[in-house]
Structure 1
Amino acid sequence: MTRVEITYCVPCGHLDRAQSLQERLLSTFGRELEAVSLVTGDSGVFTVHVDGDLVFDKADDEYDPDAIVETVRGRVSAAD
């Protein structure tokens, strides 16, 4: 099963964004995901890893939850 890890910057106030993305992933994929974990960080971090592979980093890409969900969808489908 697929595991997603969202690392977010606590001092930057990214908790709401991380929780929103977590909820969206869980409501979209449900039991197809083993877990969607939130990991605290700092220094402006906001990253998403799927099964240990980096699929989004706000340092490199503009935050687009639709694009992140589609990327995760491709990984969930590949795991089936």
Structure 2
Amino acid sequence: MVTIEIEYCVPCGFLDRASDIQHALLRQFGDRLDRVALVTGDHGVLTVAVDGEIVWDKSEDGYDVDAITRRVRESI
């Protein structure tokens, strides 16, 4: 089973984006996941990590839930 962590910037108001990512991943891969955790952060962070390895980072990639889902699929 797989653990996913979505770290998001609280002061930036990224909770809605993090929640959207979380819901999309649970819909697609819910039966293959141990957990999808939201992790609070700051300094503009919005990342998705699969088993501790960052597979998507807002600072490097555009925000696209479908693209994030594809990245996670490649990692699991």
Tell me the TM-score normalised to structure 2 length: 0.94
Q: Does the 8 Å CA contact 2:20/2:65 hold for their aligned counterparts? A: no
- Gaps spanning 5+ residues in structure 1: where? none
Partner residue, 1:54:
54
Tell me the TM-score normalised to structure 1 length: 0.90
Runs of 4+ in 1 over 6 A off after TM superposition: none
Which of 1 and 2 has greater Rg?
1
Share of identical aligned residues, percent? 57
Once the two structures are TM-superposed, the CA of residue 62 in structure 1 deviates from its matched residue by 0.9
- Gaps spanning 5+ residues in structure 2: where? none
Once the two structures are TM-superposed, the CA of residue 29 in structure 1 deviates from its matched residue by 0.9
For the residue of structure 2 that corresponds to 1:24, the secondary structure is helix
Kindly tell me the number of residue pairs found equivalent between the two proteins. Answer: 76
